[in-house]
């Protein structure tokens, strides 16, 4: 991925991960597993595959593209904890997970900028875009150590191998009139969601952390009042697990516990 220009990094929507119809290759129907009978794979009607009427821009091949083509392969470390879904979802959402084992190698700026670009285009209340990110690349050893030093000990133990650490910082009030923005954290979360999905599509792993010292971070980067450090985010490449089969499955609450209709706690179905 090194040496790849941002310009070349732009054709990010390809058949392998997004439902766009930009080529002659037929899109595969999605499969979802029924969690009550995990062996059985249910073939679902593809509802997502109606393409957006966008004309795709085909740019010359890049290393980003080749990474994308390979990381969807079975057995790739990005895929060892793939979500077992009940309803079909976009590939990067199913593939995303928060690893504890990173391969300590650099990440190139174009890749990181592409993830930040995805974050930048998140929706936000009044288009306020209250998110901010402080970047510390592992090769910038002073900065990286400074950010690592803000983490709680447990997080330091594994985040030390990330390619980059990002401090996410939220602006608490609207720039226009200074009134409090009660959607600020919500919107930073949306931006991080975009960032993570984009990163996953590029074969890059993301692990967000609340376990750090916000006052230490504020002091270390001179973050003014009105802005609050919210998370530190480890970004990098998953180290292949010694035994992929031993990876514990990811779990999620059932829909009935969080999707309601009619009244609180009455499941929507
Ligand atoms: C805001 C936020 C804070 C988190 N803080 C930590 C943390 O301090 N340390 C850690 O090991 N994981 C942390 N995580 C990762 C979660 O534990 C993880 O996302 C969750 O277990 C679900 O696993 P998955 O991301 O692999 O699906 C955090 C995640 C989020 C979104």
Domains identified in the chain and CATH numbers: 80-262 (3.40.109.10)
Is the CB of residue 211 below 6 angstroms from any atom belonging to ligand 1?
Answer: yes
Atom in ligand 1 nearest the alpha carbon of residue 81:
26
Atom in ligand 1 nearest the alpha carbon of residue 211:
8
Is the CB of residue 200 below 6 angstroms from any atom belonging to ligand 1?
Answer: no
Residue whose Cα lies nearest atom 17 of ligand 1: it is 98
Dump pLDDT digits (tens) for 209-233: 999 999 999 999 999 999 999 999 9
What does the chain come to in residues? 269
Using 50, 70 and 90 to split pLDDT, how confident is the model at 3?
A: very low
Residue whose Cα lies nearest atom 27 of ligand 1: it is 97
pTM for the whole thing? Answer: 0.77
Is the CB of residue 249 below 6 angstroms from any atom belonging to ligand 1?
Answer: no
Q: Do the Cβ atoms of 44 and 30 come closer than 8 Å? A: yes
**Which one of 170, 207, 250 would you pick to mutate in the ligand 1 pocket, going by the greatest count of ligand atoms within 8 A of its CB?**
207
- Dig out the tokens for 158 from the structure: 């594994």
Q: Assign residue 126 a region: left if phi > 0, alpha if psi is -120 to 50, beta otherwise?
A: left
Given a cut of 70, whether residue 73 has pLDDT beyond it is: no
Given a cut of 80, whether residue 32 has pLDDT beyond it is: no
DSSP string for 73-115 = STT-GGGTT----SS---HHHHH----S-EE-----HHHHHHH
Distance between Cα 99 and ligand 1 center (Å):
9
Dump pLDDT digits (tens) for 108-143: 999 999 999 999 999 999 999 999 999 999 999 999
Q: Report the alpha-carbon distance of residue 155 to residue 139 in Å, rounded.
A: 19
Atom in ligand 1 nearest the alpha carbon of residue 151:
8
Dump pLDDT digits (tens) for 134-187: 999 999 999 999 999 999 999 999 999 999 999 999 999 999 999 999 999 999
Given a cut of 50, whether residue 49 has pLDDT beyond it is: no
Distance between Cα 206 and ligand 1 center (Å):
10
């Amino acid at each position: 991925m090194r040496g790849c220009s941002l310009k070349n990094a732009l054709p990010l929507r390809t058949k392998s991960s997004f439902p766009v119809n930009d080529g002659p290759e037929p899109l595969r129907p999605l499969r979802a597993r029924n969690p009550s009978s995990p062996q059985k794979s249910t073939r679902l009607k593809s509802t997502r595959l109606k393409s957006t009427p966008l004309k795709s821009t085909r740019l010359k091949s890049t290393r980003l593209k080749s990474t994308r083509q390979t990381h969807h392969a079975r057995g790739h470390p990005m895929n060892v904890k793939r979500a077992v879904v009940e309803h079909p979802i976009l590939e990067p959402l199913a593939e995303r997970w928060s690893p504890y084992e990173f391969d300590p190698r650099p990440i190139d700026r174009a890749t990181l900028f592409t993830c930040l670009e995805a974050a930048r285009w998140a929706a936000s209340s009044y288009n306020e875009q209250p998110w901010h990110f402080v970047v510390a690349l592992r090769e910038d050893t002073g900065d990286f150590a400074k950010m690592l030093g803000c983490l709680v000990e447990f997080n330091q133990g594994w985040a030390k191998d990330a390619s980059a650490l990002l401090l996410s910082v939220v602006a608490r009030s609207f720039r226009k009139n200074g009134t409090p923005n009660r959607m600020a954290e919500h919107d930073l979360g949306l931006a991080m969601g975009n960032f993570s999905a984009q990163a996953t599509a590029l074969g890059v792993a993301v692990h967000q952390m609340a376990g750090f010292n916000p006052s230490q971070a504020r002091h270390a980067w001179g973050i003014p009042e009105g802005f609050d450090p919210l998370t530190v985010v480890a970004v990098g490449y998953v180290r292949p697990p010694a035994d992929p089969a031993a990876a514990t499955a990811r779990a999620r609450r059932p829909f009935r516990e969080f999707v309601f209709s009619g009244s609180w706690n009455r499941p929507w179905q």
